[in-house]
């Protein structure tokens, strides 16, 4: 049981470490409208069937 938990924790940490900023990975779909110390606003435009690269979302993103 402990091995399974440890495995999933390592997997989670690895996926977080490999995830990147969506404005960098998919610059053709994301546009940074506003960014400062308190807020970051992205505009996302895509077409049906489009896919995005793996990226991260901070825990406070709505």
pTM of structure: 0.53
d(CA 11, CA 13): 6
Distance from C-alpha of 44 to C-alpha of 22, rounded to nearest angstrom: 10
Contact 56, 47 (CB under 8 A): no
Q: What is the pLDDT of residues 4-59, one digit of tens each?
A: 787 666 555 655 555 578 888 888 888 999 999 888 888 988 889 988 877 777 77
| Cβ atoms of residues 40 and 47 within 8 Å | no
CA nearest to 62, candidates 33, 40, 31, 37: 40
């Amino acid at each position: 049981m402990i091995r399974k938990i440890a495995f999933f924790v390592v997997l989670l940490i690895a996926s977080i470490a490999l995830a990147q900023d969506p404005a960098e990975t998919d610059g053709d779909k994301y546009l940074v409208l506003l960014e400062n110390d308190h807020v970051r606003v992205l505009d996302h435009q895509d077409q049906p069937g489009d896919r995005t690269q793996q990226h991260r979302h901070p825990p406070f993103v709505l």
